[in-house]
Structures are given as C-alpha cells and as structure tokens.
Amino acid sequence: MSVAFSEGARAEFERLLTRYPDRKAVILPALHLAQKEFGFVSDDAIVYIAGLVGTSPAEIEGVATFYTMFNRKPVGKYHVQICRNISCSLLGAEHLIEHISEKLRVRPGETTPDGKFTLTKVECLGSCGTAPVMQVNDEYHEHLTVESIDRILDQLP
C-alpha cells in the first residue's frame, strides 16, 4: 500500500529543500516527518521518501536503520523510553525499569497487547542532572520516582 504526506507535511518537505545545497540533506528531516505522519517508518514510507528525494529506497533504508529514533516497526501510542546509562543508573534507573516492566507487563522492547505502550531502554538522553529520566513520545520526564512514573503513565489517555 503506497503512502503519501499530507498537504502540510508536503509543504514542510518543500520548505526544507530550500535550506540545503544538496537534496539528500533532507533525508533525515523527511524521515522525521514520515514517522510523525505515519507513526513509524514503514517500507512504503521508505519507497515514498526515496521518490521524493530522488534516490533509491536502499539508500533511504541504509540511512534510516543507522539511527535509533526511526522505528521501522510500529510502536505503541506512547513510546516510553527510559535511560539506562550511568547517571540514571546511579540514582535507581534499574529499579524504575523493572517497575515499569511489571506495571505494563511488558519487557523492554515490547508493546502492550492493547497497543498503548512500548517500553524501550535507551542510552543517555542528555539530562543527567535531573536523573533518572525517561522520554514519553516527545516529552521528557525528569527526577523520576516510582510514584511519579505511576502518575505520569496512569494519566495518559
């Protein structure tokens, strides 16, 4: 099934083209746009972007798979990404990861059966001074505790 950007995303893509001396520089921004539009970077999205940029799907695929943020498979409505690196670990991240895992009944890397949450352990989110930290979709949540995690996840619609 082929996919296409909405009018707004298409306009943003055209605007991006004016910001670089080389067309291929829009590959990363276009992949971000695709993920926002379609929820993840599907095979069809790869083919579509290749057509827009004017290169092969293989090249787009090669780029997309290099970067951890591009989801090549669907993720839940809320992508819970919790930092497992050193500053967060020193302040209890391991325990928090176990807590979320038990609470949502998924292991890291898995999605809840209702498609609401995907849990992922990630590397440093660059917010070590307010550790432990997780990112839910675009939003950072800092100074995490078991209680604050419960509050944050429970109130998501």
Instruction: Give the residues lining the site for another protein (CB under 8 A).
Output: 19-22, 24-29, 31-32, 53, 62-63, 66-70, 84-87, 89-94, 123-131, 135, 138-140
Nearer to another protein, 1 or 18 (CB): 18
Report in angstroms how near the CB of residue 64 gets to another protein at its nearest.
8
Close Cβ partners of 52 (under 8 Å, ≥ 6 residues apart): 13, 30
> How near is the Cβ of 72 to another protein at its closest, in Å?
12
Q: Can you tell me the distance from the alpha carbon of 147 to that of 39, in angstroms, rounded to the nearest whole number? A: 29
- Give me the least distance between CB of 140 and another protein, in Å please: 7
Rounded to whole angstroms, the maximal C-alpha distance in the chain is 49
Q: Which is closer to another protein, CB of 109 or CB of 113?
A: 109
Which is nearer to another protein, 19 or 73 (by Cβ)?
19
CA 27 to centroid of chain Cα atoms: 16
Nearer to another protein, 69 or 113 (CB): 69
Are 31 and 70 spatial neighbours (Cβ–Cβ below 8 Å)? Answer: yes
Residues 123/108, Cβ–Cβ less than 8 Å: no
Q: How far is the CB of 65 from another protein (least distance, A)?
A: 8
Taking the C-alpha atoms of residue 64 and residue 71, their distance in angstroms, rounded to an integer, is: 9
